[in-house]
Amino acid sequence: MTEANKFVDIRHAQKSYGELEVLKDISLSVDRGEIVAIIGPSGSGKSTLLRAINDLDPLTGGEVWLDGVQINKDLPYRQYEKHINAMRQQVGMVFQHFNLFPHLSVRDNVTMAPKMLKGISDAEANALAEEQLKHVGMLERIDYFPSQLSGGQKQRVAIARALAMKPKLMLFDEATSALDPELVEEVNLVMKRLAEEHMTMIIVTHEMDFAASVCDRVIFMDKGVVVEEGPPSVVFQNPTEERTREFLRKHLSQYAEGAK
């Protein structure tokens, strides 16, 4: 196995919907503990790439590897299901629209998957829920239902739910895009804390200042290709590609803040 030392390794990722090619031969890797932001205009393929990592949007070509194991293995249906379910347990995902389970309490949202998949006892599950919810500052809402929470609170619970599976990698798909501006910060704080704990994170975001302040590396995508990548200081302040500059001009206010 070559290059097994790369933690997340995307090799020649290609994705088409019929004629439309949304990912064009993308290769990139992420180290253990690294925090990477993927930015770019809508339709650039950044969410598709993120969702390809845990095979929510299967690639039409190329490979995705996590910690030396190929995620999108070519296997017969049943074997593949088993394989992908095991892989997904190691990859947490946070969605733009939270996708909390509305019929379950905050506690059950967090404990459902660990209980079903890891066979932990009720007592262990409760301890796990308390630990994870405390981590995101939502312990006092443990017996609430999702409909009784604000957007920021929902997203913090969604992060706790993902973390309860003890993932090796966290994917954030525009986690703050659906939030009212005043609720963004509480979610950003939770993500910053995770970053400080060296969780490996791949973050698709429109928030340039967050990307600049938290991420080790910024990847700018446009039209299905990686146009430019590098540390935030370089990509934001000294972009070499015209397309990057043009994109950043449109996000100037964020750019200015991020550059501080």
Distances (CA, A) of 183 to 78, 154, 177, 251, 256: 42, 11, 10, 20, 21
69 vs 112 by CB, closer to other proteins: 112
Considering beta carbons, is residue 156 or 251 the nearer one to other proteins?
Answer: 156
Question: Using CB under 8 A as the criterion, which residues of the chain lie in contact with other proteins when the complex forms?
Answer: 54, 56, 81, 85-86, 88-89, 91-93, 95, 97, 99-103, 112-113, 116-117, 145, 147-148, 158, 161-162, 165
* Closer Cβ to other proteins, 202 or 235, answer by number: 202
Query: Least distance from C-beta 147 to other proteins, angstroms?
Result: 6
Closest separation between CB of residue 103 and other proteins, Å? 5
> C-beta of 174: minimal distance to other proteins in Å?
13
Phi, psi of 55 (to 5 degrees): 65, 25
CA angle (35, 100, 78) in 5-degree steps:
80
Pick 92 or 152: Cβ nearer other proteins? 92
Hey, which bits of the chain come out as E strands?
A: 8-17, 20-30, 35-39, 61-66, 69-70, 91-94, 169-173, 200-204, 217-222, 225-230
Give SS3 for 17: strand
DSSP-assigned letter for residue 99: -
- Shortest gap between Cβ of 82 and other proteins (angstroms)? 8
How far is Cα 85 from Cα 117, in angstroms, rounded to an integer?
10
DSSP, residue by residue, 112-145: HHHHHHH---HHHHHHHHHHHHHHTT-GGGTT--
Which lies closer to other proteins via its Cβ, residue 70 or residue 99? 99
Cβ-based nearer residue to other proteins, 113 or 225 = 113
Closest separation between CB of residue 113 and other proteins, Å? Answer: 4
The minimum distance between CB 229 and other proteins, in angstroms, equals 25
CB of 29 to other proteins, least distance (A): 21
What distance in Å separates the CA atoms of residue 98 and residue 194, rounded to the nearest whole number? 18
Sheet hosting strand 61-66, strand order edge to edge: 20-30, 8-17, 61-66, 69-70
Cβ closer to other proteins: 165 or 221? 165
